[in-house]
């Protein structure tokens, strides 16, 4: 596993959580793959078009315990823990990133609400 690739993907993951990016349909369009889908914490399926047209939650998020797993030369899985300061809840998250046409794009995302306490010092 390349440390540079891990850091590159971590920065992309952090950008996906950034409020300025979350407010911008243009920036979301750059990050999300055309066939992106998400399983929301409610269990509802959400697709790229809905994220672009309806927007995403604009919550203040802190990232902890980032893990990187290379599944193949052009596919990675990230897992991490989010403390949502706005909703005062914690979620475990996972994302699949695919390298296509020279760019890493977010292909899949899932968040599961948890009672797990914050354990790591790492945050955005």
pLDDT the model gives residue 97: 98
**What number of CA atoms fall less than 13 Å from residue 81's CA on the CB side?**
15
- Kindly list the domain boundaries of the chain, sorted by start residue: 3-114
pLDDT exceeds 70 at position 102: yes
Measured distance CA(15)–CA(36) in Å, rounded: 16
Average pLDDT, integer, range 23-32: 91
Q: What does the pLDDT look like over 73-89, one tens digit per residue? A: 999 999 999 999 999 99
Average pLDDT, integer, range 43-54: 91
Q: Class of 3-114 per CATH? A: alpha beta
pLDDT the model gives residue 120: 55
Shortest CA distance to 13 belongs to which of 80, 69, 102, 91?
Answer: 80
Contact 9, 105 (CB under 8 A): no
Measured distance CA(113)–CA(85) in Å, rounded: 13
pLDDT the model gives residue 124: 41
């Amino acid at each position: 596993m390349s440390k540079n690739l891990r850091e590159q993907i971590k920065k992309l993951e952090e950008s996906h959580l950034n409020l300025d990016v979350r407010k911008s349909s243009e920036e979301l369009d750059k990050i999300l793959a055309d066939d992106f889908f998400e399983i929301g914490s409610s269990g509802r399926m959400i697709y790229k078009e809905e994220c672009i047209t309806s927007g995403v939650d604009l919550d203040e998020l802190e990232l902890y315990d980032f893990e990187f797993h290379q599944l193949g030369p052009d596919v990675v899985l990230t897992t991490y823990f989010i403390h949502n300061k706005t909703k005062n809840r914690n979620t475990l998250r996972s994302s699949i990133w695919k390298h296509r046409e020279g760019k890493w794009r977010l292909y899949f995302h899932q968040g599961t609400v948890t009672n797990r306490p914050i354990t790591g010092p790492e945050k955005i």
